[in-house]
Amino acid sequence: MRTGYVPLFLSAAALIIPLEGVSAHFRLNQTYVGNDFLSGWTWETLDDPTHGRTNYVDQGTALSQNLTYAADTKFVMRADDWAVVPPTGRGRKSVRIISNQAWDESLIVIDLAHMPEGCSTWPAFWSLSQKGPWPHGGEIDIIEGVNLGNQNLASLHTTPNCNMPPQGQRAQTQSGQTTSTTCDASVNSNQGCGVTFSKPGSFGSPFNQQGGGYFAMARTKADGVRVWFWPRGDPSVPQAVANPDALLPVPMRKRRNRSGKGGKKMAVLQDVVDIVGPDTITPDQSWGNPEAAFPTQDDNCGYEQHFDAHQMVFDLTFCGDWAGSVWPQSGCGAGSCVDYVNNNPQAFSNAYWEVNSVRVYTPY
């Protein structure tokens, strides 16, 4: 692994500050680009747990039928857009993959060129407990939406006794709008606790028309779960997100030690410049407020009680518990969602994921 930073000492001066003021730093743990997905993820063929009109296929089938393909710098997963599905069939062919590795406290950054769009579609990029059974260990939805929607929804699904503050108490810590506050998956038809993004172009056709964008999800015991979004070309995208292989100078980086007066843990801020990257990243104030912030303190949703190591999941289902239930209000026309999926293969030409990279960082 490459060196994460090169310290350039400018003087011997040091300032002692409380440890609590230090932002979390993360170091690169795993990268998935192009063919990395073929060896680092598993193609799942289970019946869709959300009751979609979907036939998830294995890796061999996906590769042979061009539902999955990889190049040096991109990875694509897509729906079958040529076959009429018989009424007795399992559903339209699609792909669901899960990472072989799992992480607890971490930062996930995805550079996404295209996401599935269109009537009946229900794409999601999310994580769930490696141990389970679901919802034990929690679920974190990073990218999710249905049909012709154009605003992303981030949400948590947990065991009981996990609740989020109302919007009025979160307006200073997130940019999105709280849509639900009860994370318990056993109530409210498993709605979970969600936040709808406010920044334009976070989902569906608008996202794709702008050339995609970047999502980042950080989860730590201290700060809970936070999700950011930046459209491609947005000047506010952190350089460590948009150009993860670049070397970025960061002056006056805070350094920790275990010494301090009266036994209190302190951090030492040395008079140094770090050359950060390409293996390090810090979601500090320069990132701006996340679109969604889910605090996980003991009094509302204890982190260790509700979350453990998660695997990442990409999927694309059709109709089902969400996209199917809101079909009459979707603007997709008459008829049933299932009939639409069965008889309109040409409607799924834009139902594909095109992923430039997924990078996972862990605290250090």
Rounded distance between C-alpha atoms, residue 93 and residue 316, angstroms: 10
CA–CA separation, 82 and 96 (whole Å): 19
- 144 in active site: yes
The residue from 44, 139, 291, 354 that is catalytic is 139
pLDDT in tens, 188-205: 999 999 999 999 999 999
Least-confidence region, from 9-23, 164-178, 205-219, 288-302: 9-23
How is the chain split into domains, by residue range?
Answer: 1-23+246-287, 33-236+288-363
Residue 90, pLDDT score? 97
**pTM over 0.75, yes/no:** yes
Options 2.60.120.200, 3.40.50.150, 3.30.70.3270, 3.30.2350.10; which CATH number does 33-236+288-363 get? 2.60.120.200
Return the pLDDT at 313.
99
Residue tagged active-site, from 20, 44, 117, 144: 144
44 has catalytic annotation: no
Q: Looking at the chain, how many residues does it have?
A: 364
* Model pLDDT for residues 225-281, shown as the tens digit of each residue: 999 999 999 999 999 999 998 765 554 445 555 445 444 544 454 544 555 557 999
